[in-house]
Structure 1
């Protein structure tokens, strides 16, 4: 049986191992991703293709070094899962280490909506920069 917790566990297992095909397979076609801050990636991204482009863009800007991992157990409330996370990224002349919470709503066995929260939005904005 597919549960919200199993979908999000599969998503993070794939993300942490670099299996982006499995990551992408977890998204509903009409997924909505809310990226915080005031940088080139901020705002709401609608659709699986847009979310894939967002993740690809982050990998490109970070010269392939962006990585994110769970740093505490996943927490479930109905069809919504909260994931405490930590991330790191490097590129020429800049680095970023951050923590936050990813909140993900699951519908029909797919990630339908994502809200990201960061503990230090100014540092994240400085790293990602403007388009």
Structure 2
């Protein structure tokens, strides 16, 4: 049986992914609690924890230059406060291509806003190579 909080959190996760990168920072802020933290795994300059404004400024800046970045949700699962997504992640950056399975673990508050999130991927080494600094010339 799916409870009200599961339904609310699944709806919020679907809306978050549907907004995608096309949404403005102000439009995307509505999905987050004021004190949220986003955890990025791996071993690159992108890896680390991003709180509040840093998620909207520092994290996107560290991802650049991106020629392409697409996240297609394949499935979502939820309990009372967690939604786990499985996604196909594709990108192009600095002559490198990325095509992998990954997603997020999203923890929601009682208002169905993201309080904490963890990224994950099937092949972290592939993602680390994709986001590695530009090769020396």
TM-score, scaled to structure 2 = 0.81
Residues 1:57 and 2:54 aligned together: no
In structure 2, what is the Cα distance between the partners aligned to 1:28 and 1:117? Answer: 21
Instruction: Give the gaps of 5 or more residues in structure 2.
Output: none
Partner of 1:115: 118
Report deviation, 1:7: 1.2
Report deviation, 1:50: 1.0
Give the length in aligned residue pairs: 127
Contact 1:58 1:66 in 2 (8 A): no
Partner of 1:67: 70
Partner of 2:95: 93
Instruction: Give the gaps of 5 or more residues in structure 1.
Output: none
CA RMSD across the alignment: 2.2
Report deviation, 1:54: 4.5
In structure 1, what is the Cα distance between the partners aligned to 2:100 and 2:29? Answer: 23
Contact 1:81 1:103 in 2 (8 A): yes
Report deviation, 1:92: 3.3
Contact 1:38 1:125 in 2 (8 A): yes
2:129 is aligned, of 108, 126, 131, to 126
Contact 2:46 2:59 in 1 (8 A): no
Summarize the Cα distance change of 1:99–1:20 in structure 2 as closer, same or farther, 3 Å threshold: farther
Partner of 1:42: 47
Moved over 6 A (4+): none
Bigger Cα Rg: 2
TM-score, scaled to structure 1 = 0.84
Partner of 1:19: 23
